[in-house]
Structure 1
Amino acid sequence: MYVPRLLSQTILNRLDLFPAVAILGARQVGKTTLAKSLRDQFSRETFYLDLELDSDLNKVDHPEFFFEQNREKCIILDEVQRKPELFPILRGMIDKYRVPGRFILLGSAHPHLLKLSSETLAGRISYLELTGLNILEAAPHVDQERLWLSGGFPEPTLSNDAHFQYLWFESFLKAFTERDIPLLGLSLSPQLILRCLRMIAHSTGQVLNRDSFAKSLDLRSSTVARIFDYFTSTYIIRQHEPYFANVKKRLVKSPKLYIRDTGLLHYLLEIKDMNSILGHPILGHSWEAFILEQISSLLKNEFGSYYYRTQDGAECDIVLTKSDVPVVCVEIKFTSAPKNTKSFSTAIQDLHTRNNYIIIPHCTAPYQIDNHVTVCSIHQFIAETQKMQF
């Protein structure tokens, strides 16, 4: 089953402007399916190469000749992280024949892990991130609870077979730990990588303490920082940074740590159904991770996203900013009857935000619990923030 993605029109627009467009995101998030689904809408004939296949990899043994022979086509290079030496050649080929829509690059890692410096294709390429299925994309096929439980990877999420979902995540992690991470240059055993991921799963939603991780893993703190950088750059974890500009208080300045996909989070914690998650200590942090990923997916082009916490107890889960100025505060609660807290009220006072929300699982219609805080669902929150004008 193919699920239309909201990023589709943006990709087509960028292809009309830039010689190259890179679609980046976690492995198996749907990049290949999306690119292939748009081929009929491209202004050029396309040529698809999967660089994980030896037969396709051989075609770029002499890349300059291959690109020159296909200069009038849009060349889709999948799993581009397997051939980073192509990037300087792409620059030369683009400069020789600079027209929009020549290349689409699909990759499972951030550009800096692909050894692609900002200068290599600067001005020639537009980067876009494809996240997992969000609530708007998934709504016709799965409900909110199922999306939260199964995560945003299309294949397991759209399957009704719990055993298949379990096997899918098992295979995903095997490929990630044994092939993807070593390929990108992190030389650690798959067992250690998996152990670190399980520790992160148990720490989801908490402020990062690298020294604690280093002690538990018997590694140097600098090595742990490098591991986290790789996990972040392969779109597996999110390090949600704190907001501390222009606030004259003692603030927490370490990021909060999340497994981005809640399906992967639940697999790592051996949570198999909704009853299991409702009785698990991770419940609140899992719901928080889910809401954060939805907001990041649907509003990332509109707002900056941070959290806020002071040493004296003021806190909010998400601060959305415009031009680095706080404009929205969000508290995330897994409850049907939320109450405003002193810590959230103090955060609102510190940040001077007029738009403040508590997001809960279900809400018939948004309502206020005081003059400054609105209770709503994630669907209602997205709808309201998309209408905001600043």
Structure 2
Amino acid sequence: MQSIPRWSSTLLLKGLSFQRAALVVGARQSGKTTLVRDLCPIEARYTTLDDEATLSAAKADPHFFLRQAQENCLIIDEIQKAPTLIAEVKRRIDGNNQPGQFILTGSTDYRKLPSGDQADSLTGRIFVLRLRTMTQGEILGKKPHFLEKAFNEEFPINQDIEPCSRERVYDLAIRGGYPQTIQLDCEQRALYFQSYIQSQLLYDLTRQWDLRRYKDLASLLQIFAVYSSKPLNIQEICRKISGNALTVSSYLNALEAMYLIDELPAWESKDYKIGSKTPEIFLTDSALMAHLLSIHTTDDLLSSQEKMTNEGGKLVETWAYTQLIPEVELHPLWKMHHFRNKNNQEIDFLITDEKNRKLGIEIKAAESINTDDFKHLKWFSKQVDDFRGIVLYAGKDILSFGSRLYAVPFSALWA
């Protein structure tokens, strides 16, 4: 399959233009190797620590190993497997200010490993890039302009938006963004994720964190899938597995370090003391979430209204998160939060740009829209300045509901 251009390529090139090294991180199979090897924006030599002989050589004589970087940039794939190699990378770049000497990749954040105290963080010397699984816009070869235009209230005309439906959105969410799975049928995808989860849990977690209670880990990952897009409640999770907070927190930290789970912080402001501080958790790919929830086809959701309301709503919101956050991260000065207060007024995603403008986005999997869907956005718009709001829905038309509030089909994300 031909390599699909990634939005992050421009950031990687920008980082290598001024920084001595770059660290590309993300979940296993998210496309890091393809990005740095096949789509690398500069001339570089590739090596991977997934190869046992290469790994042994890197550990045995790191100084000689890094001599490969004498002239060109050296790519070292899966650097977390040899965290002591980081010290030698630091020694080399401390003696040479030339940008673009190394590109490191990691499917685990080596700085968060139990042995991470042995590895230098390379603070001030390295550009860190998070590569996520693919968005629908990337799959279709579209440019990441939706949010920028939304801040300016510039939307495509309805004729330029492909038809959208609840079934279409469910299908996209179930397929997710792992490059290897987007073309697979439901049985192939199930087999892929069975292997993927077993490899993640049994290999990475047991070797790197020495977390050996596999049944607890498997149950916890399923519970985190149930909680995806919801506020993090450690005590409630503890009750579900009869565990303690320390154990659950250690598993959560490990899964976050492996880029399988994100925490989305709550929005708060010194000027507006109106929100909760509890973060929400998200699985980092909706296809993985769908597999954990035993959602393999759209019919699994459409079979009952209860499933559409519960599992369907959380799945679509998680998928929407995976479509929005990669575009947010292309703008270093942008931030994304969720908002919730004690009166249960909430906004799924609240994005702030470099001008301190705010864009609230609500997610609705239904094909119809009404004024009640905007009540939280309308309330919030009265609390802050320079606010505009959007309800993303499975419809076909862009509609204005006044006061800088708009209903926008999901397909406008890649129009």
Q: TM-score normalized by structure 1? A: 0.89
Q: Is the 8 A contact 1:239 1:258 kept in 2?
A: yes
Which residue among 25, 43, 54 is the counterpart of 1:56?
54
Structural mapping, 1:5-16, within 5 Å: 5-16=6-17
Q: Which moved more, 1:22-31 or 1:104-113?
A: 104-113
Shift of 1:204: 2.0
Q: Distance in 1 between matches of 2:291 and 2:50?
A: 27
Match of 2:337 in 1: 306
Q: Distance in 1 between matches of 2:110 and 2:68?
A: 27
Match of 2:192 in 1: 168
Match of 2:321 in 1: 292
Match of 1:232 in 2: 256
Cα offsets for 1:164-219 (capped at 9, x unmatched): 11111001100110011223325242221110011111222222211011122222
Shift of 1:313: 2.7
Q: Distance in 2 between matches of 1:305 and 1:382?
A: 19
Q: SS state of the match for residue 276, structure 1?
A: helix
Does structure 1 residue 157 correspond to structure 2 residue 158? no
Structure 1 residues 116 and 153: CA distance shift in structure 2, 3 A: farther
Which structure's relative contact order is higher, taking Cα pairs within 8 Å and 6+ residues apart? Answer: 2
Q: Is the 8 A contact 1:88 1:120 kept in 2?
A: no
Q: Distance in 2 between matches of 1:117 and 1:144?
A: 45
Structure 1 residues 324 and 176: CA distance shift in structure 2, 3 A: farther
Match of 2:395 in 1: 362
Q: Distance in 2 between matches of 1:121 and 1:311?
A: 41
Cα offsets for 1:276-304 (capped at 9, x unmatched): 12342311111111111211011223321
Match of 1:134 in 2: 135
Cα offsets for 1:23-74 (capped at 9, x unmatched): 10000101111211135x524x41x222122121133120112213542132
Match of 1:147 in 2: 172
Q: SS state of the match for residue 356, structure 1?
A: strand
Q: SS state of the match for residue 99, structure 2?
A: coil
Q: Is the 8 A contact 2:136 2:177 kept in 1?
A: no
Structure 1 residues 29 and 246: CA distance shift in structure 2, 3 A: same
Structure 1 residues 148 and 24: CA distance shift in structure 2, 3 A: same
Q: Distance in 1 between matches of 2:228 and 2:124?
A: 37
Could you tell me which amino acid in structure 1 is paired with residue 407 of structure 2? Answer: V
Q: Distance in 2 between matches of 1:266 and 1:306?
A: 23
Q: Is the 8 A contact 2:301 2:311 kept in 1?
A: yes
Q: Distance in 1 between matches of 2:181 and 2:312?
A: 21
Does structure 1 residue 347 correspond to structure 2 residue 380? yes
> RMSD of aligned C-alpha atoms?
2.4
Structural mapping, 1:1-390, within 5 Å: 1=1, 2-39=3-40, 41-43=41-43, 45-46=44-45, 48-60=46-58, 61-114=60-113, 115=116, 120-139=121-140, 146-159=171-184, 161-246=185-270, 248-249=272-273, 251-278=275-302, 279=304, 280=307, 281-302=310-331, 303-322=334-353, 325=356, 327-341=358-372, 342-364=375-397, 366-380=398-412
Q: Is the 8 A contact 1:78 1:106 kept in 2?
A: yes
Q: Distance in 2 between matches of 1:329 and 1:140?
A: 26
Cα offsets for 1:309-329 (capped at 9, x unmatched): 111232111111236946111
Q: Is the 8 A contact 1:113 1:184 kept in 2?
A: no
Structure 1 residues 338 and 255: CA distance shift in structure 2, 3 A: same
Q: SS state of the match for residue 331, structure 1?
A: strand
Q: TM-score normalized by structure 2? A: 0.84
Q: SS state of the match for residue 293, structure 1?
A: helix
Q: What is the aligned length? A: 377
Could you tell me which amino acid in structure 2 is paired with residue 320 of structure 1? Answer: I
Gaps of 5+ in 2: 143-167
Q: SS state of the match for residue 278, structure 2?
A: coil
Q: Distance in 2 between matches of 1:101 and 1:196?
A: 40
Q: Is the 8 A contact 1:84 1:116 kept in 2?
A: no
Cα offsets for 1:356-380 (capped at 9, x unmatched): 111112333x221232310112453
Q: Is the 8 A contact 2:86 2:119 kept in 1?
A: no
Structure 1 residues 88 and 260: CA distance shift in structure 2, 3 A: same
Q: Is the 8 A contact 2:390 2:408 kept in 1?
A: yes
Q: Is the 8 A contact 2:73 2:103 kept in 1?
A: yes
Q: Is the 8 A contact 2:396 2:409 kept in 1?
A: yes
Match of 1:387 in 2: none
Could you tell me which amino acid in structure 1 is paired with residue 75 of structure 2? Answer: I
Q: Distance in 1 between matches of 2:350 and 2:414?
A: 14
Could you tell me which amino acid in structure 2 is paired with residue 297 of structure 1? Answer: P
Could you tell me which amino acid in structure 2 is paired with residue 291 of structure 1? Answer: A
Structure 1 residues 362 and 111: CA distance shift in structure 2, 3 A: farther
Q: SS state of the match for residue 308, structure 1?
A: strand
Q: Distance in 1 between matches of 2:210 and 2:247?
A: 10
Q: Distance in 2 between matches of 1:324 and 1:186?
A: 45
Could you tell me which amino acid in structure 2 is paired with residue 149 of structure 1? Answer: I
Q: SS state of the match for residue 155, structure 1?
A: coil
Could you tell me which amino acid in structure 1 is paired with residue 70 of structure 2? Answer: R
Q: Distance in 2 between matches of 1:382 and 1:153?
A: 18
Q: Distance in 2 between matches of 1:5 and 1:117?
A: 33
Q: SS state of the match for residue 383, structure 2?
A: helix
Q: Is the 8 A contact 2:74 2:102 kept in 1?
A: yes
Gaps of 5+ in 1: 384-390
Q: Distance in 1 between matches of 2:179 and 2:368?
A: 32
- Percent identical across equivalent pairs? 23
Q: Distance in 1 between matches of 2:119 and 2:89?
A: 14
